[in-house]
Amino acid sequence: MSEPEEFGSYLVYEQLGIGGMASVHVAESRSMGGFRKRVALKRLLAHAADNPELVQSFIDEARLVRYLKHANIAQTYDFGKVGGIYFIAMELVPGPTLTQLIRQCIATIGVIPFPITMNLLIQICDALDYAHNLRDEHGKPLGIIHRDVSPPNVIISNTGILKLIDFGVAKAASSSNQTQVGTVKGKFSYMAPEYLSGQRPDPRVDLWAVGAMAHELLTAHQLFDADDDYRVIELVKAAPIVLPSRKNPEVPPELDAVVMTALERDPARRWQSAAAMRTALANVAKELQTVVSNAQLIQWVDYAFSQKPPHEGSDLSQLIELLEAPSRPSGKLADRPSRRSTQDMDDGGFDDRRTRVRDDGGFDDRRTRKLAEFDDRLTRTASRGDPTKAERGNRKNRDATPPRKLSEDGDRDPTQRAVPRKRSFLTPRVGSAMIERHTRGHRLVLWLVALLVLAGAGLASAHFFGHPAFLADLLG
């Protein structure tokens, strides 16, 4: 390990990330008596220090984050200037970002169970509700809007407490450097359509971002993705938004309704506050008896990161990859992310490779053809099955509830109150929600063949099909 850099009262170690105007390093603060504390040290880059507008923006961020003292927001400890370089010392949060969790699950166990997702969303809403309603020491509303709520800016700590980070592009009503109307900051894929159209943002733009993240967590597909930013903006403004349950049939209609309300393009029809969305999520979890504690959350996250991708190269590993992973341009499994402390930056900091999804949400014909090839090679006599019948069988429990009102485009109306019903806690079963429903009969045959191959090789099928015993008790 190289010698740390001395920076005022701080010892600076490895870099965690770098953005357009600042970098973040692991550092130790030193105080009288020899006390030391590990922090995330954010420092303005040299080129940004010569730009008065960027300097003022950094100072505004420091002034803003000093008010933020909430369990679900990374705390700020110090702000200052050393040798002409401005810095902010923040809480160092050990744990993966949501981006890393999504990639790990895509590469190993499949989609994140919806009860786990609801816990994450509730904690995000708690953080936003606090920030949106924060007042200064004189009781004046600060009018804080994060404007960059996205998976890289959410960390799951090692205690199961989620932390919202990077208020670097946040807007406060009292900011000395107000963003002009028509100027947008953040990640386009998670920006509300009215914000992209140049309208002045309000807290509801953050709730749209929560909806976009919720859709991604529930389906393992980024909701709006394209090869260039202009196309992403077009998708955000006009692309049809399919129900999460269309891609992941384990998602209950009650949760569909909450997510689709957050994704209303008309802000007046969206959730009007983070508290309202949080209440709706909590009610769904309670009604379905799928409430997840933070202790259960971190146990599940630890389990997810303990899993390894199947060995690449064998027919069986390719089969499992096809069954499990959503479409990826490279056709390769995602790299397993590190569980070390992470603190992302203004533009996300880390390589944000995105899972590609077609605009129509349809099934990838390439995967269908390859599944057929595997079927022919491994089973020879396997039939495809009746997809309509398979769909009816797999959805029979949901059909027991009354049909819900349809909107003009044929989707269920998210504003209609869902019918409460009991539901068992879902464990992340491999493939349970990653393959489109019209391939269910075909998939069953392939899984049976895969199981026989595993048994013949003397491998433990539990490695691919289940949880450890303690997690089965926890989740079942």
Burial class (CB in 10 A: 0-12, 13-18, 19+), 174: middle
Q: Is 225 a catalytic residue?
A: no
Calpha distance 233→231 (Å, rounded):
5
Contact 370, 174 (CB under 8 A): no
Nearest to 209 by CA among 194, 189, 182: 189
DSSP 378-397: HTSS-----HHHHHHHHTHH
Phi, psi of 296 (to 5 degrees): -65, -40
Element (H, E) at 440: helix 440-457
Q: Which of the residues 148, 256, 344, 347 is marked catalytic?
A: 148
Question: Which ranges of 274-381 would DSSP assign to H, the alpha helix?
Answer: 274-287, 294-306, 315-324, 365-378
Return the H-helix or E-strand segment holding 79. strand 76-82
Work out the angle between the directed axes of helices 387-394 and 440-457 (0-180°, nearest 10): 80
C-beta of residue 54 within 8 angstroms of C-beta of residue 45: no
Q: What is the set of active-site residues?
A: 148
